[in-house]
Structures are given as structure tokens and as C-alpha cells.
Amino acid sequence: MNIQTPPPAKRTAKDYASDQEVRWCPGCGDYAIIKGVQRTLAELEADPATTMFISGIGCAARFPYYLSTYGFHTIHGRAAALATGVKLTNPDLDIWVVSGDGDSLSIGGNHLLHVLRRNVDLQYLLFNNEIYGLTKGQYSPTSRVGTRSPSTPKGSLDTPVSAALFALGASARFVARGADVLQQPLVDVLKRAHAHRGASFVEILQNCIVYNDGVFGHLTDRATKDDALIHVAHGAPLVFGKDGGKGLRLAESGLKLEVVQLGDGIAESDLLVHDETDRTLATMLAGMDAPHFPVAMGVIYCDPTESYERTVHAELDAAAAAAKTTSIDDLLRRGHTWEIDE
């Protein structure tokens, strides 16, 4: 008699939620992001036994507590360094790093630089709310000039860091951008990041309702978002605006982008087509900002190459295969030895 067993039930987003009480400020963008991450894990059918979230310090750093996977809450700015060690030790683990704009680009900037240039196979999620939230609203490396905060009551004088441009400058092979409340595009970006073999950098624009409320409101408000952002897709023309009435093309005056209105002699065929393997185009798209340009969302750059931990382990395997000694005892007894008589 044949006994048929039903296939195991597919995991849902709720299966990746831990039993810990989620404690962020009511209305914080982190709630939307964790929802998007849990949806992504469910659609990927991620195995909790081989999935690990690593964080630094900040509001975003609470993520490992709220997910039913392995997790490591590390110290300020050092999540990338710890994640590199974990991935080198066990390359089969699926590593996600969660960090804020201050944690990543201030004290952690050096570590973020190296995890990207080395191309360690992990997903690095940078939550950017352009403020320090956990420590009560000081300006951060991504805060805009003029930002009033407890540390800059007259307005910030610092030129802000562009997270996506920083990643491209650090030789990242995958750079993308999403937003907390734009759920489906965020899930799509996270799935692409997971499929990429190597360091996947995703900047997630996020609202801090207490200390920087509405900083990205123009990108998420239904009345303004069509003109304020552009969803880029490989092989598709760079079209945006209500009813797709606007686009991007190269200006005649030089190697720079310009916004054009379709019609009056300008057709969609005159627009640039997104090539996510083109680093020069990616740099121009990542640097766009309001009010003159829409903010680029989606996969801005993707050009895979061999990941760091694979090359490291290949070198170790080659060295082990060529070694003349295979044990510590043989190594210690190699060459001249002496016996001491009593």
C-alpha cells in the first residue's frame, strides 16, 4: 500500500516573526521594513536554520530580536566586520546585515567600505532616515544642509553623504534603493539582492516620525510621488511622471542627465534605456535628487563577480592540497629535531 504524504506547508511571513514584542515608536518606518523583510523571506522560502541577521547599534539594530532566525546584535558600526567573519567561517549561511545611516556611514563607514570592496556574499540593508533616532535626533552623515537638531540647533553645515554613491565608490557590485512604505517594490528589490552572489547593498529610505518626520514624504505621498521618483528596470526606458509623461535623456551640453517632457518632438525612443551593468549611468542615477530630478528607485547597478569568501576558501583548499605536511605533529617534527636524555 502506497502512503502519500502531503508536501510541507509553505512558510508565511508570520512564520519569520519571533515571539518578542516589537518596540519601535508608533508610526516608525521600521514596522513597514520588517513586514517587507518577512514577506521576502517567505517568498524565498528561506530556511531559518541557515539564515542570520546581524546588526550594529540604533533603532534598526533591534531587527535580530524580531525575526525567527539566527541573529547577532553587535556593537556600534561593526556589523559589517562581524558579518565578514561569520561568512568566512561558514559560507553556507545566508547573511543579512541591518544598519542605520549613522551606524553605517559614521563610526561604521570604514567597515562598510571594506565589506563592499571585498564583495562578501551578504545583503547589507542601510535604513536611511537622515537622522540619529535612538540617541534622540542628532544630525547624521546623511542629514541635509540646514537640518535643525539638538546637535545643530542653527542648522547642519555638513555636506551629506549619498549612501548609494558611497557604495558605488567602494566598488559595490550591487546597489539598489527602496522605501519603507512602497512595499511591493521593496520586496522585489530585496529578492534581487538575495539572488545576487556577492555584496548586495540596499538603501531603504525610512521615515522617523519623531525626529525627522516627512523627510521623504514627497516620495511616498500619492499626490507627488509620480513626479518625485523613478522606478528603474534593466532594459526599460527611463520614464516617470503621471501617465509616464516624463523621461530622462543625456543632455546635448555634455555627459549629464536632463528631464524632458514627452511630446512636442520628444518620443520615448529618445530616452535613455537603463543598463544596470553600466557603472557610469548608475553613478548619475544614484546622484539624482529633488527638486531638479526624480529619486531613482530599484536596482541601480548590478554587475556580479566572484564573491570574497569563495576566493578565500579556494585559496585555502589549494594550499592544503599542495601542503607536504598534513598534521600538526608532522609539522612540529619537520627538519632538525633533538632528543634530550635524562
Residues 242-254: what's their mean pLDDT?
A: 91
pLDDT tens sequence across 117-142: 999 999 999 999 999 999 999 999 99
291: helix, strand or coil: coil
pLDDT tens sequence across 177-189: 999 999 999 999 9
Query: 207: which 3 cell numbers?
Result: 521615515
Task: Work out the pLDDT band at 332, boundaries 50, 70, 90.
Answer: confident
- Say if residues 181 and 32 touch (Cβ distance below 8 Å): yes
Residue 205, pLDDT above cutoff 90: yes
50: helix, strand or coil: helix
Residue 325, pLDDT above cutoff 80: no
Q: Say which CATH architecture domain 13-236+274-279+295-313 belongs to.
A: 3-Layer(aba) Sandwich (3.40)
Residues 66-71: what's their mean pLDDT?
A: 97
Residue 102, pLDDT above cutoff 70: yes
Task: Work out the pLDDT band at 1, boundaries 50, 70, 90.
Answer: low
Query: 30: which 3 cell numbers?
Result: 521600521
Task: Break the chain into its structural domains and give their ranges.
Answer: 13-236+274-279+295-313, 237-273
d(CA 61, CA 331): 45
Q: What is the pLDDT of residue 341?
A: 81
Name the pTM for this structure.
Answer: 0.92
Q: Which residues make Cβ contacts (< 8 Å) with residue 42, sequence separation at least 6?
A: 10, 11, 12, 13, 15, 16
